[in-house]
Every structure is written in C-alpha cells, then in structure tokens.
Amino acid sequence: MSRRFSTEKGMDVPNIEVDSENVEYTEEHITAKYLYTKNQVKVEENTVKVTPGFHKYTFQTERKVGKTGVMLIGLGGNNGSTITAAILANKHNVCWNGRTGKLEPNYFGSLTQASTIRLGSTNDGEEIHVPFNSLLPMAHPNDFVVGGWDINGANLADATDRAAVLDYDLRQKLRPELEKITPMPSIYYPDFIAANQADRADNVLSTGSKQKDLEKIRSDIKEFKSKHDLDTVVVLWTANTERFTDVEPGLNMTADEILNSVKENKDEVSPSNIFAIASILEGCPYINGSPQNTLVPGVIELSEKHNVFIGGDDFKSGQTKMKSVLMDFLVSAGIKVEAIASYNHLGNNDGKNLDAPAQFRSKEISKSNVVDDMVAMNSILYKEGEHPDHVVVIKYIPTVGDSKRALDEYTSRIFMNGMNTIVMHNTCEDSLLATPLIIDLVCMTELMTRIKYKTSDSPDWQSFKPVLSVLSYMLKAPLVPKGTPVVNALMKQQRCATNILMACIGLNPDHDMLLEHKTNLPGTVSREEL
C-alpha cells in the first residue's frame, strides 16, 4: 500500500519536513548535516581489504526558486518547437481532440515532474512515495521563459507544424501564441553540419568573424536575461549534430587557447564551441544535448575558471536508455553479452543531418560507449581487453517523420556455453522522448546553482564541481569531472541524483533492505550511539 500524491503544480504536492537535529529550516535555507559513508578498498595480491570510511558534509539549499530562463540553440527544430508548445499547453491547460477523444497535457517522461521517490514507511507499513520535485524547492517548467536561436527563421507555429510531432488540433489551438515567438539568428558554419541543411539556413549571423559571433551571442544572452528579469538562464544545445572538432595543443586544450582560437578565427572552432564559451563568460550554465565534442578541454577549463556549470553530452532518450538498462540487467545476472547490433531509421531533420558520415560518426561514438562501465564491472564474464561486438546503424527514411524505429539484437553466452538472443523493437516519437529530458536538465541544473556544501576539512561554503555529473541520467555520453569514473548504468545514475537530493535534507539513501519486515526491529538509536 502506498499513499498517492499529485505531481501537478499547486496540486497536493507534499511539503517535506525532516524531523532531525541535523536539519535546520529557515526562511532562506535548508541546512542539513550529512554523514557520507564510502568504503576504501585496497587490493594486496589476492586479498581485498575494505575499510569503511565516514565523511561529514553540510549541505545548504537556497529555498527561493528564482525566475528561470531557457535559451535553446535549435529553438525551431523538432525538440525546441515541441518543448515550447508543450510548456504552453501545460501552463494554460490546453486540451485537444485526438483519435481517442479529449486529451490533456502532461509532463510524462520527465524524471523531475513525473517520477516519485520512496521516503520510508509508516508504523502501519504504508509506503510513502513523494514526487521527485517535492524533496527540495525546484523550478517548474510552467514558469520557464523560453527563447533561443535557430538557423531557420520560421516562427514557432510554423516550426511546430513542420515538425508534425504534436497532434494537429493542439497545434491549431496553440498557434496564436506560437506565432509570437521567432528564433534569433544563429551561427552557421557549413563545414560542421551536413550539406543538406543549407536550404534551411535563412536566419544566420553575418558578422564576418568568430570573435564577433561570440560577442553577439553574449549580447543576446544579456538582453534576454535583462528583458525578462531572470535570475538564472540555462543555455542548451538541441540543434543539429555537428561533426567532431579536432582537439590538439595550441587549438583548444586550455581556456586561453580556445579563446585565442576564437580571436584568430580558426576553422576548428565550431558553432557549439562559441555558444558554450558565450554562456560561460555570461555566467550561465551550458548543456550539450548533442553528441559532438563541444566541451573540449579548453571549454572545461574555462568553466572551472569562472565556476559555471556545464553538462553533456547527447540526450539519452529511447534506444540508448533501454541499452543501459538491459546491459546492466544481463551483466548483473551473470550473462555474458557478446554482441549488440542496433539499427535505427528516422525521418526528421535530425535523421537527415545524420545521413552525412561525419555527423553520424559523432552519434555513433556517443551510442557505442554506453556499455563500457557495465562490461568493466564484471571481470568474471569479461577478461581484460574483452568487449562485446557493438554496431550502430542509423538510416534516414523521410516517410517515418519523427516516429523513430529502433531494432536491437543482444546475443549472449549463457550457462554451459549456450546462446541466447533477445530482439527488441521500439517505435516512438523521437522528440516526445527527448523534450522531457530538456525539462529535467534545466530543473536539475537550476537547483544545483542554489546548493552549497562544506566539509570538516573545508569549512567555507562552495558549489559542486562545474562539470555536473549529476545530470548523467539524461545523457548518453555523460561528461564527468577529471578523475571521476563514468557511470552509464541507468539505475545507478538515477540513484545518484535521488540520493544527492536526499542528502540535502539530511536523509540516508533508501537501501531497500526492509529489515523491519524480515527481523524483529530494535528500538531507534541516536547517531552518537552508532
């Protein structure tokens, strides 16, 4: 049995209060003392020695959620137009007629808006699950101010019709509002996206230099923030996939190098590099929602110098999300996956752009690396250097539009060298899986700007590291701070995000042991008695 709470804005969202001497509530902040346990492991010949470690943290979360702006690069694309329309539909509760009758807007598919967290259970055994966004004060997408850039100048009503993701009746009802929104001119360097995109590029900057492009994007961000009186602006790339840019000394290995390369108008400075640098210099978090290597070492160093959050790479929505679940399950069950073949075809503009080899290569890399950490965790199945054969194919078929088709085949070795093959077919509206991730990335990033911490060793308040690995759940190729292991297993990524929020209100992670139902539960003891 579990009590049910609504996740809709203003509708029975519970007020979470932790009754503990380690948690303090004021009008401005929630301050929580948290004991983080981490096992320290040493391997000595054939002996593994484990020493439990305990680390004291104090987290402080600012309770006031500021006015949040979202600036999308690719505002007029399938994702940009869909999320803008969806926010308007949810904000104004615009219902429409579909083939099954009257339909209502929702935020399904969003971790922050449509999932719950188990807090514990009552003395009667009733399990209490609360909305994810009720643990800490969190921005709501209905309150987002959305704007951005696009290389195509169509207003958002025409862009939404062109994308044909949402039902016709809904698009018609939203048309008067969407017609008011027009993307700002964007950066267009033809070498970085497929040649087949040239006919869309009618809304581009013509400054003549990459330095001037950078200054113009910075000016756009400043003006947007000032015009709408915003406290926080998150800039997010949801435009076409670029080819990989070269990474080499003298070009982009340091912050000074990448800034100098912009000034010198070097060919290997990409549009996404410019947007990332502009965002960082304006103090605005930047999220890379496509697979290209925007966040080169110099951009990362720049974010560290300015203490501005960045996150990437590439939205993890359909096929790759399933892969990170199924591989985790199979390897954890002691089943050796030996081959993965992933085939996709889609007909939206993303598919058209990916039809070019250089852009496909960027996507192939982000999709292929998703199984690495799961293979590495089981040395019984995989000897050093072993890895499943892994092939990814993407084909452009205009007829299917945004309705992406994905076919995956997993071939595994099982007990006594038997073979097992699992085949999975997935049909989905590509943009309806990706757009909720934009909401989550913005909500989580905005929240991180309001969280500070200190430790027993570092008594001054500080922010999380600029590379926001807490966003990994939403991203195919998660960017992590240097020296940090990459985690692709989906449930580990979700637990990471959930447990960090729990720590910020002084609660331990939910361990699922349920000892109270398996043993005679002893009385509660204080932390000092442990």
> Can you state the angle between helices 210-227 and 271-281, rounded to 10 degrees?
50
Tell me the pLDDT band of 509, cut-offs 50, 70 and 90.
confident
Reply yes or no on whether the pLDDT at 520 is more than 80.
yes
Tokens of 6: 């609504």
Reply yes or no on whether the pLDDT at 9 is more than 60.
no
Element holding 324 (H helix, E strand): helix 319-332
Q: What is the pLDDT of residue 350?
A: 80
Proportion of the chain above pLDDT 70, given as a percent: 95
346-354: average pLDDT? 80
425-447: average pLDDT? 94
Q: What is the maximum alpha-carbon separation in the chain? A: 75
8 A C-beta contact, residue 210 and residue 274: yes
Q: Which residue has the higher pLDDT, 467 or 371?
A: 467
207, with CB counted inside 10 A (0-12, 13-18, 19+), is middle
8 A C-beta contact, residue 255 and residue 91: no
Reply yes or no on whether the pLDDT at 245 is more than 70.
yes
Annotated active-site positions, please?
A: 314, 363, 404, 476
Please give the single-letter amino acid code of residue 152. N
Closest Cα to residue 295, out of 276, 282, 308, 281? 276
Q: How many whole angstroms separate alpha carbon 511 and alpha carbon 253?
A: 42
216, with CB counted inside 10 A (0-12, 13-18, 19+), is middle
- Rounded to the nearest 5°, which phi and psi values hold at 386? -80, 145
Annotate 39-51 with DSSP letters as a single string. Answer: EEEEEETTEEEEE
Proportion of the chain above pLDDT 90, given as a percent: 73
Reply yes or no on whether the pLDDT at 336 is more than 80.
yes
Q: How far apart are the first and last CA of the chain?
A: 31
Tokens of 29: 């902040």
Tell me the pLDDT band of 252, cut-offs 50, 70 and 90.
very high
User: For 222-241, what is each residue's pLDDT tens digit?
Assistant: 999 999 999 999 999 999 99
Reply yes or no on whether the pLDDT at 140 is more than 90.
yes
User: For 448-486, what is each residue's pLDDT tens digit?
Assistant: 999 999 998 888 999 999 999 999 999 988 888 888 888
Please give the single-letter amino acid code of residue 173. K
492-505: average pLDDT? 94
User: For 262-292, what is each residue's pLDDT tens digit?
Assistant: 999 999 999 999 999 999 999 999 999 999 9
Q: What is the pLDDT of residue 57?
A: 96
CATH code 3.30.360.10 region(s) in the chain: 321-428
Q: How many whole angstroms separate alpha carbon 282 and alpha carbon 276?
A: 10
| CATH level 2 (architecture), domain 321-428 | 2-Layer Sandwich (3.30)
Q: What is the pLDDT of residue 7?
A: 52
- Rounded to the nearest 5°, which phi and psi values hold at 366? -65, -35
Reply yes or no on whether the pLDDT at 102 is more than 80.
yes
Tell me the pLDDT band of 218, cut-offs 50, 70 and 90.
very high
Tokens of 187: 């950066």
Reply yes or no on whether the pLDDT at 441 is more than 60.
yes
Reply yes or no on whether the pLDDT at 1 is more than 60.
no
CATH code 3.40.50.720 region(s) in the chain: 68-72+107-155+182-315+432-503
Reply yes or no on whether the pLDDT at 157 is more than 80.
yes
Q: How many whole angstroms separate alpha carbon 91 and alpha carbon 85?
A: 10
Reply yes or no on whether the pLDDT at 526 is more than 70.
no
106, with CB counted inside 10 A (0-12, 13-18, 19+), is middle
Reply yes or no on whether the pLDDT at 10 is more than 60.
no
User: For 28-87, what is each residue's pLDDT tens digit?
Assistant: 999 999 999 999 999 988 899 999 999 999 999 999 999 999 999 999 999 999 999 999
> To the nearest whole number, what is the mean pLDDT of the chain?
92
SS3 371: helix
Q: What is the pLDDT of residue 121?
A: 84
87-91: average pLDDT? 98
Q: How many whole angstroms separate alpha carbon 102 and alpha carbon 107?
A: 17
Q: What is the pLDDT of residue 404?
A: 85
Q: Which residues of 70-80 are buried (b: 16+ CB within 10 A; e: fewer)?
A: bbbbbbbbbbb
The pTM assigned to this predicted structure is: 0.93
| CATH level 2 (architecture), domain 68-72+107-155+182-315+432-503 | 3-Layer(aba) Sandwich (3.40)
326-339: average pLDDT? 95
Closest Cα to residue 291, out of 367, 352, 226? 367
